[in-house]
Amino acid sequence: MELNVSELFMLRKIYMGGMMCPRLLAPGAMSKKPATQPTLHKVIMVGSGGVGKSALTLQFMYDEFVEDYEPTKADSYRKKVVLDGEEVQIDILDTAGQEDYAAIRDNYFRSGEGFLCVFSITEPESFDATQEFREQILRVKNDENIPFLLVGNKSDLGDKRRVPLDACRERAAAWRVPYVETSAKTRENVDKVFFDLMREIRSRKSDDSRATNGDVKGKRRRRMKCAIL
């Protein structure tokens, strides 16, 4: 098929002028600023390859379980949900278990407000890897109290379990984060992990905006210790 270049450019111009611009300038899109969107909570899925980050995300988003494994690069999803009676938006960034370049991974992590750190209870290596993920997140976010849940996935495969429950709980306790077991297949606790994390993010945001009074109590305790010393 032969196409004359100048003709193409003309067509393109017509196309731009005749179709694209009206769409761009459609009232909803540009001229009129729509009512502001509900609060956005930004969640990041981290964990080794194949542990079920994408499966959890898709189960949460669309109520479906995907059997085949197709490694993710970096996908994002957004959804409106009702969190304790308030309409909010969740933005999920599903990252790659195999991100080969640390500096780039930093930039993914920086954009998150809360983290679901996923491993598979059938795979001890994936559990070991959570340590490194946690360290990287703390370094990048520079915040010991970043909203964070340790998630043991594939709980439907109990007979193939190779990471003891005690070890999981111990690690979560050491990090002072909640531990939850999920199954992307049976949907067990799927909503729970996302909603629990959103709650932490939300309370974190309100803490930030008005340096809580709860803080004072914590400090008072600390101060007494100081005085004793």
Give the binding site for another protein (CB under 8 A). Answer: 1, 3, 8, 11-12, 14-15, 18-20, 24, 29-30, 33-34, 36-37, 40, 61, 73-80, 93, 100-108, 110-111, 139-146, 208, 210-213, 215-216, 219-220, 222-223, 226-227
For residue 74, the cross-strand partners are: 95
- The answer to whether the CB of 156 falls within 8 A of the CB of 183 is yes
Of residues 170 and 215, the one with the C-beta less far from another protein: 215
Q: Minimum distance between the CB of residue 183 and ligand GTP, rounded to whole angstroms?
A: 4
Q: Minimum distance between the CB of residue 113 and ligand GTP, rounded to whole angstroms?
A: 20
Of residues 132 and 170, the one with the C-beta less far from another protein: 132
Under the criterion CB under 5 A, does residue 72 sit at the interface with Mg ion? yes
Q: Minimum distance between the CB of residue 154 and ligand GTP, rounded to whole angstroms?
A: 4
Binder to ligand GTP among 41, 43, 44, 52 (CB under 6 A)?
52
Q: Provide CB contacts within 8 A for 129, sequence distance 6+.
A: 47, 48, 119
Binder to ligand GTP among 41, 53, 141, 202 (CB under 6 A)?
53
Of residues 46 and 197, the one with the C-beta less far from Mg ion: 46
What gap in Å lies between CA 74 and CA 61, rounded to an integer?
16
Q: Minimum distance between the CB of residue 150 and another protein, rounded to whole angstroms?
A: 20
Residue 16 is classified by DSSP as I
Binder to ligand GTP among 22, 71, 158, 164 (CB under 6 A)?
71
Answer positive or negative: Cα dihedral of 163, 165, 167, 172: positive
Under the criterion CB under 6 A, does residue 96 sit at the interface with ligand GTP? yes
Q: Are strands 86-95 and 40-46 parallel, antiparallel or unpaired?
A: parallel
Distance of CA 64 to the CA centre of its chain: 18
Residue span 161-200 as binding mask against ligand GTP, x where in contact by CB under 6 A, dash where not: ----------------------xxx---------------
- The answer to whether the CB of 41 falls within 8 A of the CB of 90 is yes
Binding-site residue total for ligand GTP (CB under 6 A)? 23
User: Which residue spans within the chain are E strands per DSSP?
Assistant: 40-46, 74-83, 86-95, 114-120, 148-153, 179-181
Q: Provide CB contacts within 8 A for 188, sequence distance 6+.
A: 155, 156, 181, 182
Of residues 11 and 173, the one with the C-beta less far from another protein: 11
